[in-house]
Structure 1
Amino acid sequence: MFAPRRSNRDSEHPSRLEREKELLDLIKWNILRYDQIRTSTASRASLLVSANALLLAGTTFLLNAYKIDNKGWQAHAATSLFVVLAVTAVASISASIWHCVGAVSAYKRRKTSRHLFREELPSRSIFNWGDTLKENHNFPEFFSSLRSSSQEEILRAASAELWGAIYQHSTKHRLLRRGINFFRFSLLSFLSLAILSLFCKFYW
């Protein structure tokens, strides 16, 4: 297996080298952990999109089925309330889907962590495909870069990748929470819409 190149400073401080190796193992474990968490977040967001689609179908059904033959002021008031609730439900469903799709693809954050923290983050070559392909145009360059990397350089790259994973998870989780809040509001609007529709059907 490939072993990181040891610098002279590393050979003079074996305890420091062992500490860096322990940190590298911890960072790799956390990178895998955050990948699993982001996958779980995306699955929950996809499930919420499906639930919103069902609510939208139900709202559409209620809109098509709504009918009042009475022409009095009470019927006009009920119709106005029905329209307000329907618009609120559709708007909340749309907002929930918008944020859930953002939690899956993070399209709302067009700038990646590489662009947002360009001055702070070192190269994440080996750990990040974008940086790796940017710095290595072919396999010989990649292999040479891999063999010449010191453990400290690998540790810095891994730390930067972990920071990017944490930032992406924070963004996706925030979008998912907003999607859930809008879904709750759309569910409340839909239930109110259904109750009003049933009331109008049997009262008028």
Structure 2
Amino acid sequence: MKSVGEADPEPVSVEGSRDELSLTKWHLDRYDRLRASTATRASVVMSAGALLSAGNAVVLTHLLSVPAGRFSAWLLICFTIGLAGSACLVVMSLIRAAGVLVTIKDSRTMFASQQQLPPSFLFNGPYTVEHFGAFEDFWSHSRAQNLDDILQAAHVELWLVIKQHRHRYQKLREAVRRLRWAAIAFLVVLLGLLLGFVTRL
């Protein structure tokens, strides 16, 4: 119930709704750029992981070709464990980075069920394709939309892309963290091998 002296809320004008829609579109474009930037970084992580895998393979090849008695058994075991740990971390990093490029499920399924969110016609491709298989339905629904419907759908999509960007960025951070530990393990093994060869010359 409205209290005494409380003013009625002013109705949103058509121009105001269009301004809000333009602002929402700007945010959608911004988060699309952020997602594209995150995917580019994930590609760099995957490339770095491939190089590190090649380095592990080269070191393992040299380690297997070392003459018997060159290193003690426990040292060879340590080197092998280090290389295996580095390889496992690289694989885990690649899996996380691949999750940044493409998510397993569509955004509505991952972050909210269809009953929890209003429809996001046109703004969300999977939702549009799923609910409007025939062009006639697509056309009639598109023509029947008013500005408030479009604004709500835009906000639903904005909420989804914000959640999706955060989800992908966390995966990218985990991929980088694992790749960093893999690089450290590789460097320790490499330095250990070099030191072993130098001290036994």
Q: Which TM bucket (shorter chain)?
A: 0.7 to 0.9
Unaligned runs of 5+ in 2: 1-9
Q: Which residue of 1 aligns with 2:112?
A: 117
Percent of aligned positions that are identical: 28
- Partners of 2:106 and 2:126 within 8 A in 1: no
Gaps spanning 5+ residues in structure 1: where?
1-12
Deviation at 1:69, TM superposition (A): 3.2
Shift of 1:23: 1.6
State the SS of the aligned residue for 2:92. Answer: helix
Query: Which residue is equivalent to 1:53?
Result: 50
1:139 aligns with 2:135: yes
Stretch of structure 1 that moved more, 193-202 or 30-39? 193-202
- 1:83-138 per-residue CA deviation (whole Å, 9 max, x = no partner) reads 1211111111111111001111123xx36334541232111111112222233233
TM-score in terms of structure 1 length: 0.85
Maintained 8 Å contact 1:113/1:167: no
SS at match of 2:127: helix
What does residue range 57-76 of structure 1 map to in structure 2 within 5 Å? 57-66=54-63, 67-70=66-69, 75-76=72-73
Q: In structure 1, give the amino acid aligned to 2:74.
A: A
Helix, strand or coil at the partner of 2:35: helix
Q: How does 1:15-94 map to 2 (within 5 A)?
A: 15-66=12-63, 67-70=66-69, 75-94=72-91
> Structure 2 counterpart of 1:89, which letter?
S
How many angstroms does 1:30 deviate by? 0.9
SS at the partner of 1:188? helix
SS at match of 1:70: coil
Letter in 2 for 1:124: S
Runs of 4 or more consecutive aligned structure 1 residues displaced over 6 Å after TM superposition: none
RMSD, aligned CA: 1.9
Q: CA deviation at 1:81?
A: 1.2
* Aligned-partner Cα distance in 1 for 2:153–2:79: 57
Matched residue SS, 1:124: coil
What SS is found at the alignment partner of 1:106? Answer: coil
CA contact (8 A) 1:114 1:121 kept: no
For residue 159 of structure 1, give the secondary structure of its aligned residue in structure 2: helix
User: What does 1:1-20 correspond to in 2, within 5 Å?
Assistant: 15-20=12-17
Report how far residue 200 of structure 1 moved: 2.2
Counterparts in 2 of 1:148-163, with a 5 A limit? 148-163=144-159
